[in-house]
Amino acid sequence: MATAAAHQTDSTAAFHSDDASAGADGFERAFDAAVAADERIEPRDWMPDAYRSTLIRQIAQHAHSEIIGMQPEANWITRAPSLRRKAILMAKVQDEAGHGLYLYSAAETLGASREELLDKLHSGRQKYSSIFNYPTLTWADVGAIGWLVDGAAITNQVPLCRCSYGPYARAMVRVCKEESFHQRQGYELLLALSRGTPEQHAMAQDAVDRWWWPSLMMFGPPDDESQHSAQSMAWKIKRHSNDELRQRFVDICVPQAESLGLTLPDPDLTWNEERGHHDFGAIDWTEFWDVLKGNGPCNEQRLTQRRRAHEEGAWVREAAAAHAAKRAARTARTTETTGATQA
Ligand SMILES: [Fe+2]
Ligand SMILES: [Fe+2]
């Protein structure tokens, strides 16, 4: 049991314990009170079925995005322009695999096995972020992904560090630290290109032109069309709405684009003194829904590659399971022997 708040209220104490006498209604009331008091919900705590399934869906989708997201950038590892860039990119892609692991583990604490979740990904029953269905056409795309895609991910994920579900919130703390390294390496890569030859500058601009709008779509549909937002906010899984986070991201990116010497491909982008935010142009939601439905430029390629990687990795899983069984048998034998000697 752990709580985010310094101390627990009496009304939630029974819920965090295994005191079954509270009854179903009592548990629900205590759960609501714990959420209201900003306490963390932990794996063994009682939680509504819908809270559990919402979290499984969100964490699984997040985990899938991390591992599918390795593909567009891994595409450039062998063609990185220098040893330094290659080392940075390899580290970044490995980080994304690690993020997937933390998140699948977090989902496991809710009772969803990794095998089951991967199966849902491979059969198209669970989604990953649509941003990874766009291709990486030039080296500058690695920079644009770091700056914009990882940047949008951080904007989304920093508030998740305060998510009401403990294991997810804690995974996010480390993920966000690594994401901020990813964002900086992308920014630095784009800066080098922007200050390079006219061809390099043009390559950086072209990448930003292609990745800007899909990055804004990463925050999900507008608030009035977002199915799960209101309930997730009430449960404190989500802390800010899609539109709020998108606005925050735009406001962060505008001055950074200026420092990069690059422009954002939106003629309607202007500072609104009254709102204290940047106004920006209309997002093409038809494209968003279309890519989500599976018609993006790389949907098929990403899933095929993922299924192939899973099949090719079967021997690693088998070897790991055999090794674990061998170790467990050895430990059991040792315990038996030690036990026998002591007796
Ligand atoms: Fe990540
Ligand atoms: Fe990242």
What is the reported pLDDT for 337?
76
Tell me which H or E stretch contains 6: none
Average model confidence (pLDDT) across the chain: 91
Ligand 2 center–CA 102 separation, angstroms? 13
Ligand 1 center–CA 100 separation, angstroms? 8
Ligand nearest to the CA of 142: 2
What is the reported pLDDT for 5?
44
What is the reported pLDDT for 224?
86
What is the reported pLDDT for 210?
98
What is the reported pLDDT for 6?
41
Provide the pLDDT confidence category of residue 26 given band limits of 50, 70 and 90: confident
Ligand 2 center–CA 146 separation, angstroms? 7
What is the reported pLDDT for 340?
55
69, pLDDT greater than 70 = yes
Provide the pLDDT confidence category of residue 324 given band limits of 50, 70 and 90: very high
Ligand 1 center–CA 115 separation, angstroms? 20
Ligand 2 center–CA 154 separation, angstroms? 8
pTM: 0.89
Q: What's the whole-number mean pLDDT along residues 199-218?
A: 98
Question: Which residues make up the environment of ion ligand 2, defined by Cβ < 5 Å?
Answer: 150, 179, 182
CB atoms within 10 A of CB 174: 14
Provide the pLDDT confidence category of residue 341 given band limits of 50, 70 and 90: low
Ligand 1 center–CA 29 separation, angstroms? 35
Ligand nearest to the CA of 67: 1
Given a contact cutoff of 8 angstroms between Cβ atoms, the answer to whether 102 and 171 are in contact is: yes
Q: What's the whole-number mean pLDDT along residues 44-55?
A: 95
What is the reported pLDDT for 226?
77
Ligand 1 center–CA 290 separation, angstroms? 24
What is the reported pLDDT for 156?
94
Q: What's the whole-number mean pLDDT along residues 228-244?
A: 89
Q: What's the whole-number mean pLDDT along residues 67-91?
A: 97
Ligand nearest to the CA of 65: 1
Tell me which H or E stretch contains 41: none
Q: What's the whole-number mean pLDDT along residues 85-110?
A: 97
Ligand nearest to the CA of 182: 2
Ligand 2 center–CA 181 separation, angstroms? 8
Calpha distance 306→329 (Å, rounded): 33
Domain boundaries, the chain: 29-296
Ligand 1 center–CA 244 separation, angstroms? 21
Ligand 2 center–CA 178 separation, angstroms? 7
Q: Which residues is 41 bridged to in the sheet?
A: 165
Ligand 2 center–CA 26 separation, angstroms? 41
What is the reported pLDDT for 4?
43
Cα dist from 196 to 154, 204, 211, 262, 297, whole Å: 28, 10, 20, 12, 30
7, pLDDT greater than 50 = no
3, pLDDT greater than 50 = no
Q: What's the whole-number mean pLDDT along residues 48-76?
A: 96
Burial (0-12, 13-18, 19+ Cβ within 10 Å), 80? middle
Cα dist from 171 to 63, 103, 117, 232, whole Å: 11, 7, 18, 18
Ligand 1 center–CA 49 separation, angstroms? 28
Of all residues in the chain, the percent with pLDDT exceeding 90 is 83
> Which has more pLDDT, 274 or 341?
274
| 29-296: CATH architecture | Up-down Bundle (1.20)
Ligand 1 center–CA 99 separation, angstroms? 5
Q: What's the whole-number mean pLDDT along residues 234-258?
A: 95
Ligand 2 center–CA 155 separation, angstroms? 12
Given a contact cutoff of 8 angstroms between Cβ atoms, the answer to whether 163 and 240 are in contact is: no
Q: What's the whole-number mean pLDDT along residues 305-323?
A: 96
Q: What's the whole-number mean pLDDT along residues 137-155?
A: 97
Given a contact cutoff of 8 angstroms between Cβ atoms, the answer to whether 9 and 33 are in contact is: yes
241, pLDDT greater than 80 = yes
What is the reported pLDDT for 16?
64
Ligand nearest to the CA of 180: 2
| E strand residue ranges, 231-339 | 270-272, 277-279
Longest alpha-carbon distance in the chain: 82
